[in-house]
Chains A and B, each alone.
Chain A
Amino acid sequence: MTALRGGYSTQTRAASGMLLSLLLAFMCAAETPEEKGLAIATESTLRDTGWGDYETTATMVLRNRQGDESTRELRIRYLEQEDDGDKSLVVFDRPSDIKGTALLTHTHKAEADDQWLYLPALKRVKRISSSNKSGPFVGSEFAYEDLSSQEVEKHTYKHLRDEALDGLPCFVIERVPVDPDSGYTRQIVWIDQGEYRIQKVDFYDRKDALLKTLSVKGYQLYLDKYWRAGELNMINHQTGKSTQMLWTNTLFRKGFTSRDFDQSSLASVK
Chain B
Amino acid sequence: MKFPLRYSLLLVLFCAAAQGGEWSGNIAGELRLFPSEPLHGEQHAGNLSLSLDPEFHHEWEERGQSLVFNPFLRLDQHDPERTHADVRELYWQKVAERWELRLGIRTVFWGVTESQHLVDIINQTDLVENLDGEDKLGQPMMDLALIGEWGTLELFILPFFRERTFPGARGRLRAPLSVDTDDPEYESSAEDHHLDWALRWSRSVGDWDIGLSHFSGTGREPQLKLRLGGSDFLKLVPYYDQIQQTGLDVQLTKGPWLWKLEAIHRSGQAESFAAVTAGFEYTFTGVFGTAADVGILAEYLYDSRGDDAPLPFENDVFLGVRVGFNDTQTTELLAGAIVDPQSGATFASLELSRRLGSNWRLNVEARAFLHFPETDPAYSLRNDDYLQAELAWYF
Contacts and interface: CB of A to CB of B under 8 A. Distances in A.
State the main secondary structure of chain B at its contact with A: strand
B381 interface: no
A270 interface: yes
Interface in B356-370: 358-361
B328 A183 contact: no
Contact of A95 (B68, B283, B394): B394
A99 B361 CA distance: 13
Contact of A138 (B66, B68, B251, B330): B330
B285 A70 contact: no
B261 interface: no
Given A70-B358, A96-B359, A97-B26, A129 B257 contact: yes
A21 interface: no
A135 B361 contact: no
Nearest to A133: B285
A123 B209 contact: no
A14 interface: no
A126 B112 CA distance: 7
Contacts of B187: none
Interface stretch (B1-9, B93-101, B296-304, B338-346): B93-101
Nearest to B59: A270
Contact of B394 (A64, A96, A257, A259): A96
A32 interface: no
Interface in B242-285: 251, 253, 255-258, 283, 285
A112 B107 CA distance: 32
Interface in B309-364: 326-330, 355, 358-361
A136 to B, nearest CB: 5
Contacts of B63: 260, 269
A268 B66 contact: yes
Contacts of A125: 109
| Most B CB within 10 A of own CB, among A96, A112, A138, A262 | A96
B176 interface: no
Contact of A131 (B95, B256, B327): B256
B253 A264 contact: no
Given A95-B359, A97-B392, A124-B109, A263 B328 contact: no
A104 to B, nearest CB: 10
Given A264-B152, A268-B66, A97 B361 contact: yes
Contacts of A260: 63
A183 B286 contact: yes
Contacts of B257: 129
B177 to A, nearest CB: 31
B24 A96 contact: yes
A129 B259 CA distance: 11
B57 interface: yes
B291 interface: yes
Contact of B293 (A97, A99, A135, A262): A135
A270 B57 contact: yes
B286 A135 contact: yes
Given A97-B361, A135-B326, A139-B329, A129 B100 contact: no
A99 B22 CA distance: 12
A30 B286 CA distance: 43
B14 interface: no
Nearest to A256: B63
Interface in A231-270: 257, 259-260, 262-265, 268-270
Contacts of A123: 107-109
A6 interface: no
A267 to B, nearest CB: 9
A62 interface: yes
Given A132-B285, A264-B95, 6 more contacts: A112-B255, A114-B204, A259-B97, A260-B63, A264-B145, A269-B63
